[in-house]
């Protein structure tokens, strides 16, 4: 997933205008202070401190919201940051839904944030509105005839991998893998470590006759061995049998295999050149099959194509059949054995489409950051609050 910085048009830094105005006020107030009593001087000084403190608190609030990948959930607690004290000043915050004026919910996009600075008997509050939206990646993928989708964005230690499209919820064989890392855009992703900790999704009869289709996902390989085969996803044709489908990676080269009869055939592979995958870097990967053969795309570019491989995704639905699809692991197709191998790194936003997508369509998917967030300070929303 490419490095992405949230859009902060209307940034808090425009509030420097308020700071300049405040400084001008302080000059005028300073004249009055010199001719006032000590108690009046003290109150005015505290008021000035609060004006500056409110700006600081507002900037802190925006920074906290921008950095919090779980902000929509955090906002439902009613605060941006917990009350704290520095020197003589105490700072606090609150947040509501700017449209309903009630408590924020999962669907809230416009937030009204109030910050308060208290110094002795003087207090000052201000409010601002922030528009916070998360790109609806599921809806985006569904434009391409999505048949199943595992975002793999569950919270830490989750056991279930939800499929909001087909209901083929998977199982984390190692729940400690779930939600253990954040991608470049702030999205939660799992981290796989070996051949026994993948996600196992249930068998579905739709796998028995998928004559064309596309798999699309994001991956970051952290395993640095150039001789180890890392399994990305796969499914056996029968128990302990040959893979019906397999994708693996060795020395930065992706290898896809598909066979609809449960046999081994050297003409059913597609493989990219070495170093197609860079260790430690997020890549968008797609594998498609159908009239154009078996194809592998990396970051929107066709990297391998076997036009003579017209196999389709087929698994046995019967005795010794009904095998699960695994993500974060796979099988090595070989004439004599098919060992299971694991993955080292993260795989996420795993979708299955019913059609063999075109190069243009796959390019469109790879160009879209799945966890893109947009954070905007609503223009002219800064206001003093008097209670």
Q: Are 163 and 148 in contact (CB under 8 A)?
A: yes
Q: Please give the helix or strand (H or E) that residue 46 lies within, else none.
A: helix 38-67
Q: How far apart are CA 355 and CA 335, in angstroms?
A: 30
SS3 255: strand
Torsion of CA 155, 160, 161, 166, to 10 degrees: -140
| Phi, psi (degrees; rounded to nearest 5) at 74 | -60, -40
CA distance 369 to 92: 34
Other residues' Cβ atoms within 10 Å of the Cβ of residue 339: 11
Under DSSP, the state recorded for 184 is T
Query: Sign of the CA dihedral 42, 48, 54, 60?
Result: negative
What would you report as the CA-atom Rg of the chain, rounded to the nearest whole angstrom? 27
Domain positions in the chain = 12-135+373-385, 137-367
Q: What angle do CA 80, 84, 88 make, to 5 degrees?
A: 135
pLDDT of residue 69: 79
pLDDT score recorded for residue 8: 40
Segment holding 167, helix H or strand E: none
Tell me, what's the pLDDT at 45?
Answer: 56
Dihedral over alpha carbons 341, 342, 343, 344 (to 10 degrees): -120
User: For 99-106, which contacts have Cβ atoms below 8 Å and span 24 or more sequence positions?
Assistant: 103/76, 103/78, 104/72, 104/75, 104/76, 104/78, 105/76, 106/72, 106/73, 106/76
For 355, residues 6+ apart whose C-beta sits below 8 A from its C-beta are 144, 145, 212, 213, 214, 290
Q: Which residue's structure tokens are 């940051």?
A: 81
Is 259:215 a contact under the CB 8 Å cutoff?
no
Calculate the dihedral angle through the C-alpha atoms of 256, 166, 219, 304, rounding to the nearest 10 degrees.
30
CATH architecture of 137-367: Sandwich (2.60)
What is the C-alpha separation between 381 and 113, in angstroms, rounded?
Answer: 10
Q: What is the pLDDT of residue 317?
A: 62
pLDDT tens track, the chain, 387 positions? 654 444 443 444 333 333 333 333 333 333 333 444 455 555 555 555 556 788 889 999 999 998 887 898 899 999 999 999 988 889 999 999 999 999 999 889 999 999 998 887 778 899 999 999 999 999 999 999 999 999 999 988 999 999 999 999 999 999 999 999 999 888 999 999 999 999 999 988 766 567 899 999 999 999 999 999 999 999 999 877 899 999 999 999 999 999 988 899 999 999 999 999 999 999 999 999 999 999 999 999 999 999 999 999 988 666 666 889 999 999 999 888 788 999 999 999 999 999 999 999 999 999 999 999 999 999 889 888 876
Closest CA to 54 of 24, 22, 8, 7: 22
């Amino acid at each position: 997933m490419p490095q992405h910085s949230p859009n902060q048009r209307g940034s808090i830094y425009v509030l420097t205008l308020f700071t300049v105005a405040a400084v001008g006020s302080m000059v005028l107030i300073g004249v009055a202070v010199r001719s006032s009593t000590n108690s009046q001087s003290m109150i005015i000084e505290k008021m000035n401190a609060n004006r500056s403190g409110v700006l600081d608190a507002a900037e802190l609030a925006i920074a906290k919201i921008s950095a919090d990948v779980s902000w929509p959930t955090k906002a439902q607690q009613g605060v941006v940051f917990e009350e704290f004290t520095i020197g003589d000043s105490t700072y606090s915050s609150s947040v509501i839904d700017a449209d309903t004026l009630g408590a924020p919910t999962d669907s809230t996009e416009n937030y009204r944030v109030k910050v308060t600075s208290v110094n002795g008997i003087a207090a000052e509050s201000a409010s601002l509105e922030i528009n916070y939206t998360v790109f609806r990646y599921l809806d985006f993928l569904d434009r391409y005839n999505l048949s199943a989708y595992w975002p793999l964005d569950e919270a830490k230690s989750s056991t279930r991998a939800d499929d909001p499209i087909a209901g083929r919820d998977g199982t984390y064989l190692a729940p400690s893998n779930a939600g253990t890392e954040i991608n470049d855009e702030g999205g939660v992703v799992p981290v796989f470590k070996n051949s026994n900790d993948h996600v196992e999704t249930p068998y579905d009869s739709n796998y028995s006759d998928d004559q064309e289709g596309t798999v699309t996902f994001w991956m970051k390989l952290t395993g640095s061995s150039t001789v180890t085969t890392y399994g990305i996803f796969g499914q056996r044709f029968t128990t302990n049998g040959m893979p019906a489908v397999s994708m693996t990676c060795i020395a930065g080269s992706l290898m896809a295999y598909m066979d609809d009869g449960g046999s081994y055939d050297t003409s059913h592979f597609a493989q990219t050149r070495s170093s197609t995958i860079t260790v430690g870097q997020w890549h968008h990967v797609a594998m498609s099959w159908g009239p154009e053969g078996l194809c592998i795309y990396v970051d929107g570019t066709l990297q391998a194509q076997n036009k003579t491989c017209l196999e389709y995704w087929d698994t046995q639905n019967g005795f010794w059949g009904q095998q699960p699809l695994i993500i974060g692991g796979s099988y090595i197709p070989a004439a004599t054995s098919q060992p299971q191998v694991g993955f080292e790194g993260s795989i996420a936003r795993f979708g299955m489409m019913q059609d063999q997508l075109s190069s243009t369509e796959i390019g469109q998917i790879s160009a879209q950051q799945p966890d893109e967030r947009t954070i905007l300070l609503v223009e002219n929303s800064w206001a003093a609050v008097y209670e």
